[in-house]
Amino acid sequence: MTSQPELPRAAIFGIGGLSLTAPERAFLGRAQPFGFILFERNCADPDQVRALTADLRASVRRSDTPILIDEEGGRVQRLKPPHWPRRPAAGAIGALYGVDRERGLRAAWLAGRLIAADLFPLGIDVDCAPVADVPVPGSHGIIGDRAFGADPEAVAALARALSEGLIAGGVLPVIKHIPGHGRARADSHRELPRVGASRAELAATDFAPFRALAELPLAMTAHVLYEAFDATRPATLSPVVIDRVIRDVIGFKGLLMSDDLSMAALAGGLGARAAQALAAGCDLVLHCNGKLSEMEEVAATTPALPAARLAYYRSWAARIAPAPVYRDAAALELAGMLAAREAAC
């Protein structure tokens, strides 16, 4: 592993369990990752999660270290009952929007605000949501109702509303999976999806929500190969897709993180994957499974995050703070709107 950088390393790591082991603590002290990501395996109850987030920050000696989680609602919710309530899937909110635009937007904002109210008191300040993908007929169900729907304009509006709800609660959103996972006919956790749509089709549908959200601070790549732009490399590893599509056509200027490097859509060793993603134009690499030997590989090829990119993140983090929310009233309002739509169907 290269020597400890003065700036944090351009990596986000998961850990194995409910608390740090001695080897994990020693590694993290040396590696100094930019941030951490939590999963269900790391979350037992509120007191335990608060202790863990504090310990993670202490391990790298930076109180502003971001801690992430995938808390979308629906199928992708790491915080489970009985300690945390179930939150609705994006697809349910999209269905409400389809019959009542204003109520749909309100529901999306409430969902984001309630998720933030779950996360912020735990010390979690970044949520890997919303999903801004646009599924098409025949695509793999890995996205499915994690998306707000099949209309790019509606997806953009609802993703923005949920993002604004998160920000109002002191939590930064991560839009995903840029430049679009909706056409994929395979699960990128298991294999590399290939998309053969034309540039015009992609620009009109898949890219459109991300273009509408391009000023947001964080985005996560899709491990998807877009044949119209790069016939050999998925977006995460493609300088063509990152430069010409994500940075140029979409206009995203924020921090770009890879999806999980350990997913089977990517080939080669973990260190090589990290190096390729960063060389392609990702600002940060994400490694989720908590395997220490793999994290060592990633750290060995991952340099410090450039100072300008760290300053960009900190400028966003400094400008947000949670506004008051009456959680029970907000939850009742959201549940009532969704129940009324279901009863009307």
Encode pLDDT of 224-256 as tens digits: 999 999 999 999 999 999 999 999 999 999 999
Catalytic residue among 259, 260, 283, 287: 259
Q: What's the rounded Cα separation, in Å, for the pair 160 and 216?
A: 9
Determine the average pLDDT of the residues in 119-131: 98
Residue 3 has pLDDT above 60, yes or no: no
Is the N-terminal amide bond of 33 cis, ω within 30° of 0? no
DSSP codes of every residue in 19-41: S--HHHHHHHHHH-EEEEEE-GG
Q: Going by DSSP bridges, is the β-strand pair 284-287/255-260 parallel, antiparallel, or unpaired?
A: parallel
Q: Going by DSSP bridges, is the β-strand pair 33-38/67-69 parallel, antiparallel, or unpaired?
A: parallel
Q: What's the rounded Cα separation, in Å, for the pair 317 and 166?
A: 12
Where do the domains of the chain lie?
9-344
DSSP 73: E
* Tokens (6 digits) for 296: 């060592």
Catalytic residue among 47, 189, 243, 248: 189
Q: Going by DSSP bridges, is the β-strand pair 9-13/33-38 parallel, antiparallel, or unpaired?
A: parallel
Residue 9 has pLDDT above 50, yes or no: yes
> Which residue's entry shows tokens 């909110």?
93
The proportion of the chain whose per-residue pLDDT surpasses 90, expressed as a percent, equals 92
Cα–Cα distances in angstroms (integers) from residue 105 to residues 39, 94, 101, 249, in the given order: 28, 9, 6, 26
What's phi and psi for 296, nearest 5 deg? -60, -40
Question: Which pLDDT band holds residue 324 (cuts at 50, 70, 90)?
Answer: confident
DSSP codes of every residue in 93-106: HHHHHHH-HHHHHH
Q: Which residues are CB-neighbours of 318 under 8 A, at least 6 positions away?
A: none
Residues comprising the chain, all counted:
345
According to the model, what pLDDT value does residue 69 have? 98
Four-residue CA torsion sign, 92, 93, 94, 95: positive
* Tens-place pLDDT, residues 25-62: 999 999 999 999 999 999 999 999 999 999 999 999 99
Question: Which pLDDT band holds residue 345 (cuts at 50, 70, 90)?
Answer: low
Nearest Cα neighbor of 146 from 163, 164, 127, 132 is: 132
Q: Which residues, listed in sequence order, are joined to residue 126 by a DSSP beta bridge?
A: 68, 172
* Tens-place pLDDT, residues 260-297: 999 999 999 999 999 999 999 999 999 999 999 999 99
Question: Which pLDDT band holds residue 2 (cuts at 50, 70, 90)?
Answer: very low
According to the model, what pLDDT value does residue 39 have? 98
The proportion of the chain whose per-residue pLDDT surpasses 70, expressed as a percent, equals 98
* Tens-place pLDDT, residues 171-188: 999 999 999 999 998 889
The CATH class given to the 9-344 domain equals: alpha beta
Q: 259 catalytic, yes or no?
A: yes
Neighbours of 122 (CB within 10 A): 21
Residue 96 has pLDDT above 90, yes or no: yes
> pLDDT averaged over the chain?
95
DSSP codes of every residue in 279-339: HHT-SEEEE-S--HHHHHHHHHT--BPPHHHHHHHHHHHHH--PPP--HHHHHHHHHHHHH
| Residues 225 and 233: beta-carbon distance below 8 Å | yes
* Tokens (6 digits) for 308: 């300008």
Q: 151 catalytic, yes or no?
A: no
Give the residue ranges of DSSP H helices in the chain. 22-31, 46-60, 90-99, 101-119, 152-168, 199-204, 208-212, 239-240, 270-280, 292-300, 307-319, 327-344
Determine the average pLDDT of the residues in 126-133: 98
